[in-house]
A = this chain, B = another copy of it.
């Protein structure tokens, strides 16, 4: 594939910039902690939405990947990624028809179920095509989103799966999403251990009931290193660590480096203490707070509309005369607050390979919302 390459001067803004060396250091920092151990890493690709980064994760030792929706699975499978776990329940005839088409070519795509209704939909669609899918029970270990409850409800659902010949139960998933951004490290670890004990206990009870449970999967960037030491866990699903973001940095400090920024241009200097930049709600997500200026800790960013953001500082404390005085045309970098939803706003990464040139990599799975 021929690659577009831009110099820093040629970059237009707002633009997603990726520091590939920092990305690779983040990948290595996490993968190295798991290498050779009993717990595998199955990174969640909803963050990066790009097979290019998936390949780097697999090359570093990832055992497979997670995706959040079918379109992401389709993009990754088309790019040659085989062991894909879709971590969200799938329902509805159009989606099930697409899943059948995907499974015909890619038998290692795995799905999750948390109810007989979801299992029935899958089973009917697969049976009609003569296919069998590997399935994980999705457990609610405290997030209270999807998920069957651990213990007896999970055992009963697993028994029901025995009468769905197109579904082969191979594991359990339980995502402690409510703990990922828990700022109190002690509470995060204690609650994570409690949640994962429910997950591991259910896996054991399922095995005792005759089910082959070889995958016990959980964890995110905020808990992956805790999960590693929890008994019975076979793999973790972190995603954000690849690029990091401001929300996770508030929780994890410098465990991983902010490797992705949004480059923006100053378009107005209307008042002392404020500069208006061209990155607003349509290039930086706000669901986890606001982005942070990378090189200017004394400035705060806030969105000011779809295509505007305001950088504000104290002009008395800082002094308008002190460096750097921003002028129209200046460019600076913002660290997104939530990396997943910010990447989702962009069609292209600008990947710095040698610190000078930027390769344009597509955010292949974005836009395909289904």
| Residue positions of A touching B, CB distance < 8 A | 9-15, 46, 68-69, 88-95, 98, 114-115, 117-118, 121, 140, 144-148, 177, 265-271, 276, 278, 281-283, 285-287, 303-308, 310, 327-329, 331, 340-341, 344-347, 366-370
The answer, among B9, B13, B98, B281, for a CB contact under 8 Å with A341, is B281
CB proximity of A91 to chain B, nearest CB, Å = 5
Is A91 a contact of B121 with CB atoms below 8 Å?
Answer: no
When distances are taken between beta carbons in the complex, the residues of chain B under 8 Å from A285 are 281
When distances are taken between beta carbons in the complex, the residues of chain B under 8 Å from A276 are 89, 145-146
Besides A117-B328, A145-B270, 9 other A-B contacts (C-beta < 8 A): A9-B93, A12-B95, A114-B270, A117-B269, A144-B271, A145-B305, A146-B268, A282-B344, A344-B345
The answer, among B98, B114, B282, B306, for a CB contact under 8 Å with A268, is B114
CB proximity of A343 to chain B, nearest CB, Å = 10
When distances are taken between beta carbons in the complex, the residues of chain B under 8 Å from A95 are 12-13, 265
Is A306 a contact of B341 with CB atoms below 8 Å?
Answer: yes
Is B306 a contact of A147 with CB atoms below 8 Å?
Answer: no
When distances are taken between beta carbons in the complex, the residues of chain B under 8 Å from A344 are 282, 306, 345
Chain A facing B: main interface SS: loop
When distances are taken between beta carbons in the complex, the residues of chain B under 8 Å from A88 are 267, 278, 307-308
When distances are taken between beta carbons in the complex, the residues of chain B under 8 Å from A46 are 306-307
Is A270 a contact of B146 with CB atoms below 8 Å?
Answer: yes
Residue of B nearest to A175 (CB): B305
When distances are taken between beta carbons in the complex, the residues of chain B under 8 Å from A148 are 270
A242 to B331, CA, bound (A): 35
When distances are taken between beta carbons in the complex, the residues of chain B under 8 Å from A310 are 145
Is B370 a contact of A347 with CB atoms below 8 Å?
Answer: no
Is A369 a contact of B283 with CB atoms below 8 Å?
Answer: yes
The answer, among B89, B328, B331, B346, for a CB contact under 8 Å with A121, is B328
Query: Given A267-B146, A303-B287, are A369 and B341 also a contact pair (CB < 8 Å)?
Result: no
Query: Given A145-B310, A287-B281, A306-B46, are A370 and B14 also a contact pair (CB < 8 Å)?
Result: yes
A329 to B95, CA, bound (A): 10
State the 8 A-B residue pairs at the shortest beta-carbon distance, nearest first. A117-B328, A347-B367, A12-B94, A146-B268, A12-B370, A89-B267, A92-B265, A68-B307
Is B368 a contact of A347 with CB atoms below 8 Å?
Answer: yes
The answer, among B92, B303, B306, B346, for a CB contact under 8 Å with A367, is B346
Is B345 a contact of A117 with CB atoms below 8 Å?
Answer: no
Most-contacted residue by chain B among A10, A46, A117, A148 (CB, 10 A): A117
CB proximity of A19 to chain B, nearest CB, Å = 19
A271 to B115, CA, bound (A): 11
